[in-house]
Amino acid sequence: MSSLLTALNAGETSLLTNQKAIEIVGNNIANVNTPGYSRQTAVLTEIPSVTFGNFFVGQGVTVSNISRDYSAFITKQLQDKTVEFGDETGRSSPMTELQRTFGVSEDNLSAKITSFFDSWQQLSANPSGQVERDTVLQQGQLLGTAFSDTSKSMDDISTNINTEIVAGVDDINAKLSQIAKLNDRISQVEVSGQTENSARDQRDLLVQDLSEKLGVQTYNDGQGMLCLQLPGGLPLVQGNTAMTIKAVTTGTDVNLQLQVSGSTVNISNANLGGEFKGMFDVRDNIISGLRTKLDNLAVDLTKAVNDVHTQGYYTDPTTDQPATGQLFFNDLSGPPAVANASRHVDVAITDTRMVATAGQSTAAAGDNQNALLIAQLGNSHQVSGTTDTFDGYYSQMVSDVGIEANRNNLALTGAKDATTQLQNLRDGYSGVSLEEEMVNLMQYQRGFQSSAKFLSTVDEMMTSLLAVKQP
């Protein structure tokens, strides 16, 4: 009789185990399209045998745990490549806008510089011509507008970057908080020896997102909790505690601060990775460098023109007499130096008679000596500290932007392809295969049916045995 009870117990455990295995398969199928989901598998363990007579009789089977298909190596590779992809993504939009601002076109700053000096060349051919004088003043004003528009375009790009940073901070803080909560949940569940697979999948997905945004680094604390930190070592998540990142406006820019245990720490670019690093680098290095060069060009050009123009002679509108020393552009060279000089390039002359074309005070009306000297600046003057002409100096800026934009496009494409390949590798290892799950479903279904048939057979045997004992 006891042997039949043992058989019933074995059949019952088999029935329940196959049922649980079918539920796990069903969960896998339900999550086949869930991002970050790792395939789960029932870990079957034989129940220890018991002594029955001179034999050890098995007690059946049980689901001792539910494992997930997970590769720490693939996950680490994917996380590292995601950081690189995020960095290039953060640069992509600003560099596209910069390329548009410094693009080669018929209406860019280089064309305005050329048109300005061409107008002086035309004036030298007819120094007393009213139309030519009007054209010189007009081209000077258009040149100032071109400088200002270029500077404003860079300011707009910086503003857009700042807006992206501010908008992204709240999302980052929310994800840091979620990871801390998942850490706490995983720790509480796994203290019993079980594995909290769903929470681990969710946490891995959040870490991948934060790797793309901030370039976070991770390590385990030995208690099932995942700790996060910035590339520079500043902590973001410690156990079940999440730090807070704050966007702080400094002047016209936005910077980041980390609130850790009641204290505030400034986050420098060296402490960042991913998309935020890319955006900060474009704003603080590339755009800042271009703005400095643009201001230098504005100062150098206006000073070179003013130096020659003040040596020439013009007709004073108030006295109708020859005069000298008149600036053509507002003085930007200082001291003190004018901040954002490219925003302040403006013609200082309001009357065409003040255009100094003559080289001598007693010269005839056809004296074009000074006009020729200014016209020649476009081809002969070298920007301070370089061997470039005005056009060559600006062309170098355009070239730098183009080279960086092309590098970014190539790097972004490469990082995207590598990330996609690693994601496919991860999905191939950890993802759900419907074909494989259907095979498992049939296997556990047959096991369930066989267990049910086994229980039915044992029940019939017990019924027969009980019938024999009846009087």
pLDDT tens profile 364-397: 667 899 999 999 999 999 999 999 999 999 999 9
Cα distances (angstroms) measured from residue 140 to each of 115, 129, 164, 344, 348: 9, 17, 37, 12, 10
Mean pLDDT score, 328-341 = 87
Contact 67, 383 (CB under 8 A): no
User: Helices (H) and strands (E) in the chain — how many of each?
Assistant: 10, 13
* 341 located within any domain: yes
pLDDT at 9: 75
Instruction: Indicate whether 363 and 443 sit together in one domain.
Output: no
Instruction: Indicate whether 396 and 301 sit together in one domain.
Output: yes
390 contacts: CB under 8 Å, gap ≥ 6? 113, 297, 300, 301, 377, 378, 381, 383
pLDDT at 4: 65
Range of 383's domain?
99-155+285-405
The pLDDT tens digits for 178-205 are 999 999 999 888 888 788 899 999 999 9
Q: Specify the residue for token string 């070298």.
A: 382
Q: Specify the residue for token string 């183009």.
A: 402
* 182 located within any domain: no
Backbone angles phi, psi at 261, to 5 degrees: 50, 45
Instruction: Indicate whether 315 and 398 sit together in one domain.
Output: yes
Instruction: Indicate whether 298 and 368 sit together in one domain.
Output: yes
Cα(315)–Cα(324) distance, integer angstroms: 9
E strands within 78-202?
A: none
Contact 220, 214 (CB under 8 A): no
* 374 located within any domain: yes
pLDDT at 469: 59
pTM confidence score: 0.86
Tally Cβ neighbours within 10 Å of residue 471. Answer: 2
* 91 located within any domain: no
* 420 located within any domain: no
pLDDT at 223: 75
Cα(434)–Cα(152) distance, integer angstroms: 55
pLDDT at 55: 58
Percent pLDDT > 90 in the chain is 71
Cα(205)–Cα(430) distance, integer angstroms: 13
The alpha helices in 215-366, defined as continuous H runs, are 274-281, 288-309
Band of pLDDT at residue 7, cut at 50, 70 and 90: confident
Mean pLDDT score, 12-35 = 91
pLDDT at 454: 79
Cα distances (angstroms) measured from residue 393 to each of 129, 159, 231, 310, 460: 32, 26, 37, 24, 98
Instruction: Indicate whether 112 and 151 sit together in one domain.
Output: yes
pLDDT at 56: 56
Cα distances (angstroms) measured from residue 57 to each of 13, 68, 294, 452, 456: 14, 31, 88, 20, 20
The pLDDT tens digits for 336-360 are 878 899 999 999 998 999 999 998 8
Instruction: Indicate whether 30 and 127 sit together in one domain.
Output: no
Better-predicted residue by pLDDT, 335 or 307:
307
Band of pLDDT at residue 230, cut at 50, 70 and 90: very high
pLDDT at 252: 82
Give yes or no for residue 63 having a pLDDT over 90: no
Structure tokens that stand for 195 in this block: 């594995």
Better-predicted residue by pLDDT, 278 or 54:
278
> Last residue of some domain: 367, 390, 405?
405
Percent pLDDT > 70 in the chain is 95
| Mean per-residue pLDDT over the chain, rounded | 90
> What's at 102, amino acid-wise?
F
Mean pLDDT score, 281-291 = 95
> Last residue of some domain: 405, 426, 461?
405
* 319 located within any domain: yes
Give yes or no for residue 232 having a pLDDT over 90: no
Cα(402)–Cα(379) distance, integer angstroms: 24
Q: What is the 3-state secondary structure (H, E, C) of 62-100?
A: EEEEEEECCCHHHHHHHHHHHHHHHHHHHHHHHHHHHHH
Tally Cβ neighbours within 10 Å of residue 34. Answer: 14
* 251 located within any domain: no
Neighbouring-strand partners of residue 260: 263
The pLDDT tens digits for 91-103 are 999 999 999 999 8
Helix (H) or strand (E) holding 378: helix 369-380
> What's at 374, amino acid-wise?
I
pLDDT at 351: 93
Band of pLDDT at residue 2, cut at 50, 70 and 90: low
pLDDT at 306: 96
Tally Cβ neighbours within 10 Å of residue 270. Answer: 10
Instruction: Indicate whether 302 and 449 sit together in one domain.
Output: no
pLDDT at 14: 83
Give yes or no for residue 304 having a pLDDT over 90: yes
Cα(198)–Cα(195) distance, integer angstroms: 9
Band of pLDDT at residue 140, cut at 50, 70 and 90: very high
Instruction: Indicate whether 400 and 440 sit together in one domain.
Output: no
Instruction: Indicate whether 62 and 106 sit together in one domain.
Output: no
Instruction: Indicate whether 307 and 380 sit together in one domain.
Output: yes
Give yes or no for residue 1 having a pLDDT over 60: no
Contact 19, 427 (CB under 8 A): no
pLDDT at 146: 95
Q: Is 250 helix (H, G, I), strand (E, B) or coil?
A: strand
Contact 423, 211 (CB under 8 A): no
Give yes or no for residue 361 having a pLDDT over 90: no
pLDDT at 168: 94
Structure tokens that stand for 285 in this block: 């290095």
pLDDT at 57: 61
Contact 408, 91 (CB under 8 A): yes
* 247 located within any domain: no
Q: Of 236, 276, 212, 219, nearest to 422 (Cα)? A: 212
> Last residue of some domain: 405, 422, 454?
405
Cα(186)–Cα(188) distance, integer angstroms: 6
Mean pLDDT score, 159-182 = 95
Split into its structural domains, the chain has a count of 2
Q: How many residues does the chain have?
A: 471
Instruction: Indicate whether 65 and 115 sit together in one domain.
Output: no
Instruction: Indicate whether 145 and 292 sit together in one domain.
Output: yes
pLDDT at 365: 66
